[in-house]
Amino acid sequence: MKSLIKIKFALVTIGLLFFASISEAQTIELAQDVNEDTVISKFGKNRKHYFSSYFGFGITPGQVETDSIQLKSGESTKLTYGFYYKYKVAEPYSILFALSYGLSQFEFETPDDFKYRRLNVNDVELEFANRINFGKRGNTIGNYLELGISGDYVFGTKLLSKQIIDDPTVNHKARKVELTGLSYINKPNYTAHARFGSNKYVITADYRLSDLTNDDINFDLPPLTIGFRLDFGG
Domain membership flag for residue 122: yes
pLDDT at position 140: 87
Domain that holds residue 149: 49-231
Sequence-distant (6+) residues with CB within 8 A of 69 are 108, 109, 219
pLDDT at position 46: 79
CATH of the domain at 127: 2.40.160
Domain membership flag for residue 44: no
64 and 97 both lie in a single domain: yes
Domain membership flag for residue 43: no
The C-alpha atoms of residue 155 and residue 82 are separated, in whole angstroms, by 16
Domain membership flag for residue 14: yes
pLDDT profile of the chain (234 residues), mean per 10: 47 49 43 53 85 97 87 96 96 96 97 94 98 87 96 98 88 92 97 97 98 92 97 88
Domain count within the chain: 2
114 and 175 both lie in a single domain: yes
pLDDT at position 8: 46
Geometric angle at alpha carbon 88, from 135 and 234, rounded to 5° = 60
115 and 55 both lie in a single domain: yes
Euclidean distance between the first and the last CA atom of the chain, given in angstroms as a whole number: 81
pLDDT at position 16: 47
- Residue 13: Cβ within 10 Å count: 10
Coil, helix or strand at residue 112: coil
pTM across the whole model = 0.79
pLDDT at position 38: 61
117 and 196 both lie in a single domain: yes
